[in-house]
Amino acid sequence: MSDNGPEWFAPKRYGYGSGLPVAWQGWAVTAAFLGLAFAVSVWFNDRPLVMLALMGPATAVFLTIVAKTTRGGWRWRWGDDD
């Protein structure tokens, strides 16, 4: 990630990935993903393959957005301050 990119999510203190959103855009993306997941699970609860076909790409897009907008990017952290 470039240094001047958006920072919507905080990095985890320990481990790999990101933590909670730190900007309203991060909260909006997270809420939209959770809303989509809930809607798909309600509408397609009797068709698991359709649910998987919809949620697989949606999860990949969500994780890509989170990874690209995490402060400092995704990397392994040992609890040290960045």
Residue type, 7: E
Higher-confidence position of 72 and 65: 65
The per-residue pLDDT for 79 is: 78
Per-residue burial over 11-39, b if 16 or more Cβ lie within 10 Å, else e, is: bbeeeeebeebbeeebeebbeebeeebee
Phi/psi of residue 19, nearest 5 degrees? -100, -140
Q: pLDDT tens digit string along 24-39? A: 999 999 999 999 999 9
pTM: predicted TM-score of the whole model, two decimal places: 0.85
Dihedral sign of CA atoms 70, 74, 78, 80 in order:
negative
pLDDT confidence bin for 61, thresholds 50/70/90: very high
